[in-house]
């Protein structure tokens, strides 16, 4: 069992989990031992051997022994992906984020607000594990590197950049997601499709909803509670349609039949569409 003084512990990543007490955060190992003292204002999970930490509203990166790999000097910092990380270097800029529920905020963040929103958009730089910029160009929109390319945008359109800073796919999409299994989701005309690494649209942008490819298939939908699976040719290998569906993970996908939450049937299906386990969720319904 873990010591009783572990408060606010997070989940494990790369063998360590965050633990918070009295407003300060550190890391424990799987035995519950405090291996990195609680000296940080906030932390993120370890990724590729480094973790983002906050110290006095500045962000840097630590090693697993708690030493700084990159000193806190950024207004915002994200975790590593393929040896690269997105950071915001300047302050007094507007950060918009990517969640539809998130509100724009001015960085550095002030809990009580009171700062003007009439400031320029923040710009992302990409750095390596030593804190060196991969290239000089900064982008107001950016996502992580995946399969050698990162989605970047100018505030209006998105394209893809490589680690040398070359814009290998021009900014022409309304939105773009990282590559997965050789294809990336992009939005054109409010519809989703899939491109390859040359920018060729291999699956037309005709879907109202779409997820990344995983285990050779992707979930797509028509926006009317109808979802199905496609392969990398755009064909439908599983003939069924579902009212909800997740990506495949470890050979199984979670799907729903029926619109009413309490009357629906949920299943885990294999790659052939066969249900290996089916259930109905009545757990939140009050009996009368």
Q: What is the CATH number of the domain that holds 217?
A: 2.40.10
In a domain, 285, yes or no: yes
Residue 90: helix, strand or coil by DSSP?
Answer: coil
Dist. CA 189–CA 187, nearest whole Å: 7
Cβ-proximal residues to 136 (8 Å cutoff; 6+ apart), any chain: 165
Query: How many structural domains does the chain have?
Result: 1
Residue 159's DSSP bridge partners are 152
Cα–Cα nearest to 205, from 248, 245, 166, 172: 172
Contact 83, 128 (CB under 8 A): yes
Residue with tokens 């755009």: 234
In a domain, 99, yes or no: no
In a domain, 14, yes or no: no
pLDDT tens over the chain, length 288 residues = 455 455 557 889 999 999 999 999 999 999 999 999 999 999 999 999 999 999 999 999 999 999 999 999 999 999 999 999 999 999 899 998 764 446 788 898 877 665 677 899 999 999 999 999 999 999 999 999 999 999 999 999 999 999 999 999 999 999 999 999 999 999 999 999 999 999 999 999 999 999 999 999 999 999 999 999 999 999 999 999 999 999 999 999 999 999 887 789 999 999 999 999 999 876 555 544
In a domain, 131, yes or no: no
Q: What is the pTM of this model?
A: 0.90
In a domain, 163, yes or no: no
In a domain, 233, yes or no: yes
Cβ-proximal residues to 160 (8 Å cutoff; 6+ apart), any chain: 149, 150, 151, 152, 167, 168, 169, 176, 184, 197, 199
In a domain, 271, yes or no: yes
The pLDDT of residue 61 is 98
Ordered strands of the 50-55 beta sheet: 42-47, 50-55, 58-62, 68-74
The pLDDT of residue 100 is 46
In a domain, 234, yes or no: yes
The pLDDT of residue 288 is 47
The pLDDT of residue 115 is 66
Q: Where in the sequence is the domain holding 269, given as residue range(s)?
A: 208-288
Residue 273's DSSP bridge partners are none
pLDDT in tens, 12-48: 999 999 999 999 999 999 999 999 999 999 999 999 9
């Amino acid at each position: 069992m873990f010591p009783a003084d572990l408060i606010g512990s997070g989940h494990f990543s790369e063998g360590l989990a965050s633990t918070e007490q009295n407003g300060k955060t550190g890391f424990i190992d799987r035995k519950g031992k405090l291996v990195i003292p609680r000296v940080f204002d906030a932390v993120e999970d370890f990724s590729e051997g480094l973790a983002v930490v906050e110290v006095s509203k500045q962000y840097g990166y630590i090693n697993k022994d708690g030493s700084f790999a990159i000193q806190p000097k950024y207004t915002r910092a994200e975790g590593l992906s393929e040896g690269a990380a997105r950071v915001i270097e300047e302050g007094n800029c507007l950060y918009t984020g990517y969640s539809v529920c998130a509100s724009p905020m001015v960085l550095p963040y002030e809990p009580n607000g009171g700062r003007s929103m009439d400031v320029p958009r923040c710009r992302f730089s990409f750095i390596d594990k030593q804190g060196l910029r991969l290239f000089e160009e900064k982008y107001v929109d950016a996502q992580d590197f995946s399969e050698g390319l990162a989605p970047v945008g100018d505030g209006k359109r998105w394209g893809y950049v490589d680690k040398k800073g070359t814009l290998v796919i021009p900014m022409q999409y309304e939105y773009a997601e990282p590559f997965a299994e050789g294809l990336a989701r992009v939005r054109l005309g409010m519809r989703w499709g899939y491109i390859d690494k040359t920018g060729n649209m291999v699956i037309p942008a005709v879907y109202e909803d779409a997820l990344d490819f995983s285990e050779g298939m992707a979930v797509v939908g028509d926006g009317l509670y109808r979802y199905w699976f496609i392969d990398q040719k755009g064909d439908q290998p599983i003939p069924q349609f579902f009212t909800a569906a997740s990506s495949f993970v470890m050979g199984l996908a979670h799907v729903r039949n029926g619109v009413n939450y309490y009357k629906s049937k949920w299943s885990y299906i294999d790659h052939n569409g066969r249900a290996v386990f089916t259930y109905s969720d009545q757990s939140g319904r009050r009996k009368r």
